[in-house]
Amino acid sequence: MVSRQFTTVERNSSRWFVFDALLSWVFGIAMLLAAVPHLENSYYFLGSVYTYRLVEPGIGQMVAIVLPLMQLVVAVLLIGRVFIDAVNLIAMVLFGVFAFVQSYAYFGGLDISCGCWGPGSDSPIGWFSLSLVYGLLVLSLVRSAMFVFSRPIGCVQR
């Protein structure tokens, strides 16, 4: 009889920590780079929210207020590695929302600026912005899958 052994990554191992820390920094820096310009020029960001034509003006104002602050808090927590599993889940949801919104605009034929990095970058939504946001989403899904399928040290397998 042939037995197969599957190797799992232990959550407290150095491999897990390096991979997890690297992804946390990548996610945190991406969130920080998006949050700071939006906080510096909130009217530009409000205009970006409106150009997507997804929400009513009142909801757009709430999005323009809450989203940059949420991105900033998530970025600081990711970089500081505080509440790391919960914050990674929030980052994954945000990347999923960003991917959906950009896909909606791109495939809906809207020729608009991404608005991702503030007024200094007026790059239109295209394959580059879509691949960036989907790349971050896939990395966050991989990180979540590794967390689910990893085991803590001291766990006995039978």
Give 9's pLDDT tier (boundaries 50, 70, 90): low
Is 60 exceeded by the pLDDT of residue 2? Answer: no
Note whether residue 122 is domain-resident.
yes
Task: State pTM to two decimals.
Answer: 0.83
Domain containing 41 equals 14-148
Note whether residue 6 is domain-resident.
no
Confidence at residue 148, expressed as pLDDT on a 0 to 100 scale = 75
List, for residues 12-53, the tens digit of each pLDDT value.
667 778 888 999 999 999 999 999 999 999 898 999 999 999
Number of domains in the chain: 1
Note whether residue 141 is domain-resident.
yes
Confidence at residue 6, expressed as pLDDT on a 0 to 100 scale = 45
The set of residues, in sequence order, having a beta carbon less than 8 Å from that of 108 and lying 6+ positions away, is none
Note whether residue 109 is domain-resident.
yes
Confidence at residue 152, expressed as pLDDT on a 0 to 100 scale = 58
- The CA–CA distances, whole Å, from 128 to 68, 77, 138 equal 22, 27, 15
